[in-house]
Amino acid sequence: MDLRIKSFEEYTEKYALSVENTDQFWGEIAETFTWNKPYEKICNWDFETPDIKWFVNGKLNITENCLDRHLAKRGNKLALIWEPNDPKERFVRYTYRELYEKVCAFANALKAQGIKKGDRVVIYMPMIPELTIAVLACARIGAIHSVVFAGFSAHAMADRINDAQANMVITADGLNRGAKQVPLKRVVDEALRTCNSIEKVIVYDCVGWSPNMVDGRDIWWNDAIEGMAKDCPAEVMDSEDMLFILYTSGSTGKPKGVVHTHGGYMVYTAYSFQNVFQCDESDIYWCTADVGWITGHSYIVYGPLLSGATTVMFEGVPTYPDAGRFWQVCDKHGVNQFYTAPTAIRALMAYGEDHVLSYSLDSLKVLGTVGEPINEEAWKWYHIHVGKERCPIVDTWWQTETGGIMISGLGDLSPMRPAHAGFPLPGIQPVLLDQEGKEIKENKVEGYLCIKHPWPSILRTTYRDHDRCRVTYFSHYKGYYFTGDGAKRDENGMYRIIGRVDDVINVSGHRFGTAEIENAINANGIVIESAVVGYPHEIKGQGIYAYVVCESLPEDRETARAEIVETVVEQIGKIAKPEKIQFVTGLPKTRSGKIMRRILRKVAEGESDKLGDTSTLVDPDVVDEIIKGAL
């Protein structure tokens, strides 16, 4: 089960093998897992359709690999440590055996509520152990989980439920977040007014409220598990059966359901977890993401549990009760590997060094970052004050669609350069393409980041719309998976991710399509049209800047702005709030009606002196007005 590479030399050898003999490379890794029936072939693929299959005709269940196979050797080892929002509240620890029993009992409860293989279950939960249990219980019985981050609005949840035609929602009465409590069940009830596929709702009592319970539809978690057996045979799944759907934003208005499958996702999340974080058997590993995002799926739940590691799950926020909370939790549980996002580091930096200096942080061995390019200043702060210049930083580049980490350092094995993700993991073949789609072979170059060979956890499709998957990822450059990112490769072959080259804005490591936010803004009755761009934001990485056209210029701009923000919160959630709203009388468009975002971006960035060629605009006066407004 130990899949770790032990030196940079070995990395170089393994990398070469993975390119020259892909089947042998992945075969040696895959055979360390538990299969009900061995696969017949490692990989079948064509990037045109696309049609990608890994570990063909193999039978397995990912939860048998996360839980059952550890019981003999690690039954009493801690699988999960849960740290509550309130530091005065008791933390929870489950051994592998306890987690196994909890997952089985809840899996039996799901079956008793009528859920079967292939059904879709939406999970809308706080960051509590029951979220992980619900995810694994779905996988155990072959139900497809679709976790919706608990910050999304009723409207956004309803869209996801309807797209997946989900049969069940698992939720809680509410959640704790710093000093606040947020209702969840109420949001679910509102969403379900426009959904007709949901038959049952399971509700976990998290904050002790008494939400409305609909007779015959809603059932309390504790009632559902009452009397359930603590064993549940795992459903035998094909390697290519769907494990989960996770919705993510793209350059169109509607989020798409990225699909991952049992076999390939299992092999790659375990392999990448072990190599990037280099955890020893007795280590404590903590990823601060939310299970509602891919980072939480792959590196709180599946990767660590597949590897028999101890994974920490944190309910709260970095600044509660104060900006030292992350470091207090590291010392309290003796965290060895700590994985967070640049936006969290920048937010904590703003509170000064004192908070971090009050803790020893002696246990830390490896620090990780993910979600967006990390600026050098934040990288240095993390390296000096958190890692005491002793811990390597792994800057992990990947995406919801890639399922696992693609480009990153491996613990302390790899050379490290601030703000550079570094080298690709074995099995990953990145390339940089030029404007014409030709591979740029040399170093010290910049281009569009694509991948030219599949890896086990590449997305298989976008749920119920395969053509969208083809068009979005496989049609820009024939024969390549297109990431949507631009990147540089330095003289040593290390990659540095620059950011998105499509209409996607990355706010605090979360993705939003400009069209998605524009649709939300346009849902407000006073708005005729809008255009949204990203601009550099000190803490969030990028902020959302909206140019809005109304029938007539609102007299009370402040109120109008607040109302538009409120509409976005209703349509998507608080995480998508525009930072700045500028009212304009028109948008700069080309003769063919295309909005010239380049111009809007420059104005939002405060670089209106660098607009470039505006001669193709229908109405150049609009630009003057926009520049004036920005001053």
Positions in the binding site for ligand WT7 (CB under 6 A): 248, 294-295, 370-373, 395-400, 421, 483-485, 497, 499-500, 506, 509, 511
The pairing of beta strand 481-489 with beta strand 445-451: antiparallel
Question: CB–CB of 246/258 below 8 Å?
Answer: yes
Instruction: State whether residue 499 is helix, strand or coil.
Output: strand
CB 343 to ligand WT7: min, Å: 11
Instruction: State whether residue 185 is helix, strand or coil.
Output: helix
Residue with Cβ nearer ligand WT7 (167 or 396): 396
The pairing of beta strand 256-261 with beta strand 461-462: antiparallel
CB 500 to ligand WT7: min, Å: 5
User: Residue 578 and residue 530: Cα distance in Å, rounded?
Assistant: 12
Question: CB–CB of 454/47 below 8 Å?
Answer: yes
Within 20-77, strands assigned E span: 41-46, 51-56, 59-60
Please list the helix, strand and coil fractions of the chain in percent, rounded to the nearest 5, in that order.
35, 25, 40
DSSP assignments along 248-300, one per residue: E--SSSS-EEEEEEHHHHHHHHHHHHHHHH---TT-EEEE-S-TTSHHHIIII
What does DSSP assign to residue 362?
A: T
CB 497 to ligand WT7: min, Å: 4
Residue with Cβ nearer ligand WT7 (211 or 250): 250
CB 268 to ligand WT7: min, Å: 13
User: Residue 199 and residue 594: Cα distance in Å, rounded?
Assistant: 44
- The two structure tokens encoding residue 579: 């930072």
What does DSSP assign to residue 174?
A: E
CB 293 to ligand WT7: min, Å: 6
CB 287 to ligand WT7: min, Å: 11
Residue with Cβ nearer ligand WT7 (106 or 448): 448
Residue with Cβ nearer ligand WT7 (447 or 588): 447
Residue with Cβ nearer ligand WT7 (396 or 530): 396
CB 506 to ligand WT7: min, Å: 6
CB 234 to ligand WT7: min, Å: 28
CB 418 to ligand WT7: min, Å: 12
Residue with Cβ nearer ligand WT7 (272 or 524): 272
- The two structure tokens encoding residue 461: 């499709």
- Which residues are within 8 A (CB) of 28 and not within 5 positions of it... i.e. 6 or more apart? none
Residue with Cβ nearer ligand WT7 (129 or 513): 513
Residue with Cβ nearer ligand WT7 (217 or 488): 488
- Which residues, listed in sequence order, are joined to residue 510 by a DSSP beta bridge? 507
CB 264 to ligand WT7: min, Å: 17
Residue with Cβ nearer ligand WT7 (263 or 373): 373
Q: Please state the φ and ψ torsions of residue 357, each to the nearest 5 degrees.
A: -75, -15
Question: CB–CB of 543/534 below 8 Å?
Answer: yes
Q: Please state the φ and ψ torsions of residue 123, each to the nearest 5 degrees.
A: -115, 120
Residue with Cβ nearer ligand WT7 (272 or 396): 396
Residue with Cβ nearer ligand WT7 (211 or 411): 411
User: Residue 172 and residue 354: Cα distance in Å, rounded?
Assistant: 36
CB 522 to ligand WT7: min, Å: 24
Residue with Cβ nearer ligand WT7 (411 or 509): 509
Q: Which residues of 157-179 are buried (b: 16+ CB within 10 A; e: fewer)?
A: bbbbbebbebbbbbbbbbbbbee
CB 200 to ligand WT7: min, Å: 30
Q: How far is CA 186 from CA 2, 127, 151, 202, 566, in A?
A: 45, 18, 13, 13, 18
For residue 476, the tally of other CB atoms under 10 A from its CB is 17
- The two structure tokens encoding residue 234: 């795992």
Residue with Cβ nearer ligand WT7 (171 or 248): 248
User: Residue 505 and residue 516: Cα distance in Å, rounded?
Assistant: 10
CB 359 to ligand WT7: min, Å: 25
